[in-house]
């Protein structure tokens, strides 16, 4: 079956790669390599266990919450980004579970870092008396 090509405007067989398709030029960074490491995989699981695989922002019914006990699309967020402070990349107090919606909001600064830090402190007070 022939399909129209968005790169050259011609027709190609489905699945054929056009010679005019630009090459993808994303370079692997030290942050990418860290995210693929066993060290990060282990730490991410530890934080998910600590936060019970629940979005901590949804639990507090913050703006954007659709489901209070949200356990779908959970991501571990670095409160202080690795690019800003590499030494905090594995600190428990710098990591928190958020759903993809709240993670995006935190990345854009719509959820203040201080709020996230307070949430982590609250978790530690609750579970580490």
Convert the pLDDT of each residue in 9-48 to its tens digit.
889 898 898 998 888 878 899 999 999 999 999 999 999 9
Segments making up each domain of the chain, as ranges: 26-127
Convert the pLDDT of each residue in 80-100 to its tens digit.
999 999 999 999 999 999 999
Let me know: does 92 contact 47? Beta carbons within 8 Å: yes
The overall average pLDDT reported for the chain is 93
pLDDT at 57 over 80: yes
């Amino acid at each position: 079956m022939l399909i129209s090509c968005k790169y050259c405007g011609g027709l190609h067989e489905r699945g054929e790669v056009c010679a005019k398709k630009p090459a993808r030029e994303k370079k692997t960074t030290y942050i990418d390599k860290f995210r693929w490491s066993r060290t990060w995989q282990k730490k991410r699981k530890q934080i998910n266990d600590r936060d019970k695989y629940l979005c901590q922002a949804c639990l507090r019914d913050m703006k954007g919450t659709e489901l209070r006990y949200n356990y779908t699309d959970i991501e571990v967020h670095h409160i202080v980004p690795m690019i800003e402070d590499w030494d905090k990349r594995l600190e428990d107090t710098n990591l928190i579970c958020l759903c993809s919606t709240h993670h995006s909001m935190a990345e854009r600064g719509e959820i203040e870092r201080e709020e996230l830090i307070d949430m982590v402190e609250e978790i530690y007070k609750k579970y580490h008396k």
